[in-house]
Every structure is written in structure tokens, then in C-alpha cells.
Structure 1
Amino acid sequence: MHQVQNFRTNFAQDEIVDTATDKPVDAQVDRAELYDTDSSVRNVCFVWENGRKAFFNYAYLVSVDLVITETLNEMLLYFSGQIVTLKGYHLGSLFDLLLNHIPKTITATNPRYHTNGQTTDTIVTDIIVKSE
């Protein structure tokens, strides 16, 4: 392997830290598949309950806005030309993973399978894609 291609392996992988608690985040989010560290092309695939799928390249992710409320959280992912809205519970950990382009697949689940307060797992209940 040419030395330029080996450049990234000279650095240790930083731990992902939860911004609220300053504790390392486990790289496992319920219903989300994560990237291995050596992948060069990064896309995030959204999967709906009915089987619909859509993927977006991380290169076009401009910003992410997380709104945390006592009940349902909302995360807005601003891609070039489109806005993806995720609704769900405990989306803070998913936000931290998106900050480092780690999630590969994010799958929505029916909200009836979640009882608020019984779990701290990240659960996405709705995915909405709108063109700007």
C-alpha cells in the first residue's frame, strides 16, 4: 500500500463521547447498522416500516438540528436539496453518532412497541423526507 493511502492508519480512533454526560458512547444504537472504520464511501440509508428505503451521501449532509422534548424528540438532517426529519425517543446518542458519520442504516419502528420511560435505547418512529 502506498504511504498516502496508509495515512489514516497512523492515527488512533477517537472515542465517541456523549456531549451531555461526557461519557463514551457505545457504538450500538437500536435498529441502526454502523460503519466499520475503514470504509471510504459513506452513505446513510433510511428504512421505513413498509420496506421503503432511501440513502443519502454524508458528503451532502450540511447540518443536523436536534430538538429534545419530554416526549418525542425530533432531528432535522439538512442535506443539499432535501431535509430528512427523524422523530423518536432518546435521539441524543444517534446525534453523536451522526456527528462522526457512523450510522449506515437507520430503521423506523412502530411507536406502539415503545413505552416511554421503560428504556433508554434510541428509537426512531418516523422518517420524513422533503425536498427544499
Structure 2
Amino acid sequence: MNHGFKLRFDQMRESNPTREQEPDGEANHSPGSHRNLCLVWPDGRRAFFNYAYLIEGEFDPGNEKNSIQLHFSAYKITLQGYGLATLFTALLDHSPRFISVIDARYVMDADPEKEIVTDIFIEKAE
């Protein structure tokens, strides 16, 4: 049976067919056999990496910008931005599903309570 049909059928059984569906969310909430991290750039480019291949992570508070280096088995990913300490802790728990880059010209308009990623660099591991 089609998953969308089953969901709709369940909503009709609950007598609320107009109920909003749960959003996919930004975090991996339930335990599962595989978890992925999806990186998103402002131009629409995306890349995902499986947490199973995450070997090491490093946080550098830096001077003005923070940076996080994630060492996967085949790639090294560098995240740069502001207020990345909470993101590093979330990465430690493998909970973020999506990390999006904010264009530098919108940094001042971003929520100061939330981490702000301004650059993502991906390199092949040596």
C-alpha cells in the first residue's frame, strides 16, 4: 500500500482528514540504523554524508568566526560561521539532518540565538 494513501486513510479513520502532516524536521529524533547529514547551499546545491563514516570532529572557537571540521572516511568538511558551539554538540549526538548556509549578506538578519553557518567546504580526504 502507498505510504501517502495509508497516512490519508489513517487521518480519515481519526475523523480529521485536514490535519497537517508532521514536517520532516531538522533533527534525527528516533534511533535508526542509518542517519545522514545533508548540507545545503544557497544556490540549491546539496550533498549528504552518512554519520556512520564520521570519524572525528573538531571545534575551533576562532577569533570572530567559529569553525567545525568533520573528518569522514573519504571527505573533510569544514563549516564556518557564528555561534557554532551548539551545532558541534548536536553533531556529537548525530542529530542534525540539515545544515544550511546563510548568504553572508543576511547574517545580520539571522536569529542570534541560532547557529549561523556562512561557508561549507568539502575536500577529499588524503
Q: What band does the TM-score fall into relative to the shorter chain?
A: 0.7 to 0.9
Runs of 4 or more, structure 1, over 3 Å off, are none
- After superposition, the C-alpha distances for 1:4-56 in whole angstroms (9 at most, x for unaligned) are xxxxxxxxxxxxxxxxxxxxxxxxxxxx8111223331010101111111000
| TM-score, normalization by structure 2 | 0.73
Letter in 2 for 1:86: L
1:90-132 deviations in whole A, cap 9, x for unaligned?
Answer: 000000000010001111111221239x823201111110002
Instruction: Kindly provide the amino acid, as one letter, of the partner of residue 66 in structure 1.
Output: F
The residue aligned with 2:92 is 99
Partner Cα distance (1:45, 1:39) in 2: 16
Contact 2:34 2:52 survives alignment (8 Å): no
Alignment partners' CA distance in 1, 2:65 and 2:71: 20
CA distance in 2, matches of 1:104, 1:39: 13
1:131: which partner in 2? 124
Matched AA of 1:77: L
State the distance in 2 between where 1:114 and 1:120 align.
12
Q: 1:50: which partner in 2?
A: 43
Q: Which runs of 5+ in 2 are unaligned?
A: 1-24
- Aligned residue for 1:113, secondary structure, equals helix
User: SS of the counterpart of 1:45?
Assistant: strand
State the structure with more CA Rg: 2
RMSD: 1.8
